[in-house]
Structure 1
């Protein structure tokens, strides 16, 4: 058993989203993204399907050029290779579930 917290030890970065690997399972990795208001993660693609949960706050989530607002509690899934970007509407905590073969280094390379 592993236990972590999405809401403890929050360290927002003034210059770019803060990404932290929280835990790994045999199937996936759980990643926390802290994004401040108006910060942007430029368009990118994941090599495997992902799940995104807005744990707190609100973000603008762009998929193939169309933006939608995701608020606290919203969860979405994306298939592999779908171009997407995100922007903080407010300071936000995001939970990202990635495939076990994906890496946090890939996510950090987007920033």
Structure 2
């Protein structure tokens, strides 16, 4: 069994960009928490494997192939591999990201800077 909290030990970074934390790893996925303050963003990027994004708190303009859509608290979106996407934080956010165990957390950290 794996257990983690999306709301414990919250620490938003003012100037360093979004904060990425590994919550836990399963045989198939890595479960990450991304904390973003209003105005922070993740530049356009692609994931090499399918991903699932859940907006636990806040609002994000989520761009897919250059088209923006507003994600609000509780929204979940799944993307296939290699789909260009970006995130622009509208209000302080807690994002849960599920990536493949074959993907790297370092890649996620690079696009959040």
TM-score calculated relative to the size of structure 1:
0.98
Quick one: distance in 2 between partners of 1:49 and 1:2? 21
Q: Which residue of 2 aligns with 1:103?
A: 104
CA RMSD across the alignment: 0.5
Q: Which residue of 1 aligns with 2:49?
A: 48
Secondary structure of the equivalent of 1:10?
coil
Q: Which residue of 2 aligns with 1:91?
A: 92
Pairwise CA distance, 1:103:
1.1
Q: Which residue of 1 aligns with 2:13?
A: 13
Quick one: distance in 1 between partners of 2:33 and 2:13? 13
Q: Which residue of 2 aligns with 1:32?
A: 33
Pairwise CA distance, 1:78:
0.4
In structure 2, stretches of 5+ residues that fail to align are none
How many residues are paired up?
Answer: 111
Quick one: distance in 1 between partners of 2:25 and 2:61? 27
Pairwise CA distance, 1:109:
1.1
Quick one: distance in 2 between partners of 1:45 and 1:91? 23
Determine whether 1:82 maps to 2:83. Answer: yes
Output one character per residue of 1:46-95: Cα deviation in whole Å (capped at 9) or x when no partner.
Answer: 00000000001110000111000000000000010000000111000000
Quick one: distance in 2 between partners of 1:17 and 1:106? 13
Runs of 4+ in 1 over 4 A off after TM superposition: none
